[in-house]
A and B are shown apart, each in its own frame.
Chain A
């Protein structure tokens, strides 16, 4: 009897390890992938077109919704593009705040990336631990911006406001009694910086816990070592950036190579992989979290000692402080014009890239001098990574496809835009 061995299957868009809305059409020979054809665009919202119909500042919240696990890094690239077009300087304190929150975001992203990657390939416990730590960092987001995820905290010219003096505290309710609340609030007695410092002191211990769970875990290694190997030449040809490139042994990090803000003032190392498989990329992500922790500590020290303005003084770009706006006619006019007509950005084009947790996130902005962008193109790292899915997955077993999706750390908010 003839044996039928070829299948074409749909992986996703409802599959839990498809990380959102990836529809992957897999052509299989038995259990071996012969061709993988990712169908994307199920989350396409036309952000770039929408941005053409909004003023420059109205598009800041759209940026949060691109890669919705590293919100502030997206805003960062967008604000940097506008600042370069305008040619304005960001106050030094705002630069330190941005660097600090970029690194908080990197930890947030890697915690989710590693947690869900482990969850996808069978280590359920990881995601429970990493989400516990994410909660603390989300609280930091909330303390500065009022929102746990979609912060809209970075603004052209600086950041929306200075760091708060007090950290919000838990209150007793029917789920949490007075004892629990007291324990939860122990680290929240001081300012936001105190809370974040307490977190950074604890965080290395948490990383050690994760490593205990995964790094030498036999099953984890069986699922990741030698899976999804990318050579440095392939990585460059496919346009890889970030961890996907560093995992293959190319020491390329925009924070070191093309430093922006105050990355040249802080001390950190760039971890690089050797073999370019999923396991190496996992190790790189773990070490990056520890390095981010180091950067955050340095920023906290600096921010404690150096008060100052956090947004540019140019009221054609950044709104005046509220008290001055209420007392001064000139400032009131600025405020009104800025929030109705918006700022006018000189004609020209610029490409601003940041080292996003997933790779190089760039914003290509074209202005014709109007109060809205003429064209805005987001360069999402995940788009290039997923494009190489076919060639990476070919020849692997179907279960390894899950490991490869996990290691690419794809998020459809940014890929589909």
Chain B
């Protein structure tokens, strides 16, 4: 671990204390895991504490762990990974929060802390159906007007459920059930460790 990451993880442990569920340093990146009820408070101190200074929110990404490792996942299903950047300190951090309820995932919105979270949370809501309480304008953003479902969930087929075409008789565009057959060109495979190494098998 480089001295910089050491400093960052120490500062995180000091500032956040027992709100830190876990801290992982892997491949030169720091990831912390916080509980959903602590999320907003942690966000506030990450931005404002003089030892951390995460003044920019770079990205918010939804995650659906339901088929992770072909079903080997035991934890909660939905998570949000927030990427933060400190321009002053020149370091980055990933904050992961798992939503408590798998059927109706709700997290607190951090729009009040970082205004740039606005569209990112709308996107996460649109694609994963994760709700953000306290968000000023939680509309769909990327999908079609009147779209049903959350397309990036693992149980949503790549082909979708409806397709759109122009109907000459009715003289307008109509939606109908998809006629495309789902297909998979290359199957998804998780191999055992050191598969294909020299001297193995």
Could you tell me which A residues sit within 8 Å of B by CB distance? 40-41, 44, 46, 48-50, 53-55, 58, 84-85, 87, 236-239, 241, 250, 252, 257-258, 316, 337, 340-342, 344, 347-351, 353, 360, 362, 364, 366, 368-372, 374-375, 377, 379, 383-384, 386-388, 416-417
Residues of B with C-beta under 8 A to A87: 27
Most A Cβ at <10 Å: residue of B26, B87, B151: B87
Tell me whether A41 and B142 are in contact in the complex, defined as CB-CB below 8 angstroms, given that A368-B190, A369-B191 are known contacts. Answer: yes
From B56, B158, B191, contact of A239 by CB (8 A): B56
Q: Which of B98-106, B113-121, B162-170 lines the interface with chain A? A: B113-121
> Contact between B115 and A237 (Cβ–Cβ < 8 Å)?
yes
Tell me whether A383 and B189 are in contact in the complex, defined as CB-CB below 8 angstroms, given that A40-B142, A84-B27 are known contacts. Answer: no
A372 to B69 alpha-carbon distance, docked (Å) = 11
Tell me whether A41 and B141 are in contact in the complex, defined as CB-CB below 8 angstroms, given that A49-B152, A368-B69, A383-B119 are known contacts. Answer: yes
Cβ of B176 < 8 Å from any Cβ of A? no
Residues of B with C-beta under 8 A to A388: 115-116
28 A-B pairs within 8 Å (CB atoms) are namely A41-B140, A41-B141, A44-B143, A46-B151, A46-B158, A53-B158, A84-B27, A87-B27, A237-B114, A237-B116, A341-B189, A348-B27, A349-B31, A349-B81, A350-B27, A360-B58, A368-B190, A369-B69, A370-B188, A370-B190, A372-B186, A375-B64, A377-B59, A379-B83, A386-B119, A387-B116, A387-B119, A416-B142
Cβ of B90 < 8 Å from any Cβ of A? yes
> Contact between A369 and B55 (Cβ–Cβ < 8 Å)?
no
A231 to B61 alpha-carbon distance, docked (Å) = 27
> Contact between A387 and B69 (Cβ–Cβ < 8 Å)?
no
> Contact between B58 and A379 (Cβ–Cβ < 8 Å)?
yes
Residues of B with C-beta under 8 A to A368: 68-70, 72, 190
A360 to B92 alpha-carbon distance, docked (Å) = 13
Most A Cβ at <10 Å: residue of B90, B116, B144: B116
A51 CB to closest chain B CB, in angstroms? Answer: 11
Cβ of B131 < 8 Å from any Cβ of A? no
A344 CB to closest chain B CB, in angstroms? Answer: 5
A209 to B188 alpha-carbon distance, docked (Å) = 54
Tell me whether A364 and B189 are in contact in the complex, defined as CB-CB below 8 angstroms, given that A85-B27, A237-B114 are known contacts. Answer: no
Residues of A with C-beta under 8 A to B120: 383
> Contact between A362 and B144 (Cβ–Cβ < 8 Å)?
no
From B61, B144, B158, B186, contact of A340 by CB (8 A): B186
A49 to B156 alpha-carbon distance, docked (Å) = 10
A250 to B83 alpha-carbon distance, docked (Å) = 20
> Contact between B57 and A371 (Cβ–Cβ < 8 Å)?
no
Tell me whether A50 and B57 are in contact in the complex, defined as CB-CB below 8 angstroms, given that A238-B116, A257-B90, A369-B69 are known contacts. Answer: no
> Contact between A377 and B61 (Cβ–Cβ < 8 Å)?
yes
> Contact between A351 and B116 (Cβ–Cβ < 8 Å)?
no
Cβ of B3 < 8 Å from any Cβ of A? no
A379 to B123 alpha-carbon distance, docked (Å) = 12
> Contact between A417 and B90 (Cβ–Cβ < 8 Å)?
no
> Contact between A350 and B29 (Cβ–Cβ < 8 Å)?
yes
A25 to B17 alpha-carbon distance, docked (Å) = 46
A349 to B90 alpha-carbon distance, docked (Å) = 20
Residues of A with C-beta under 8 A to B118: 387
Q: Give B183-201 as 1s and 0s: 1 = Cβ < 8 Å from A's Cβ atoms.
A: 0101011110001100000
A373 CB to closest chain B CB, in angstroms? Answer: 10
A48 to B151 alpha-carbon distance, docked (Å) = 11
Residues of A with C-beta under 8 A to B83: 351, 362, 364, 379
A279 CB to closest chain B CB, in angstroms? Answer: 23
Residues of A with C-beta under 8 A to B116: 237-239, 384, 387-388
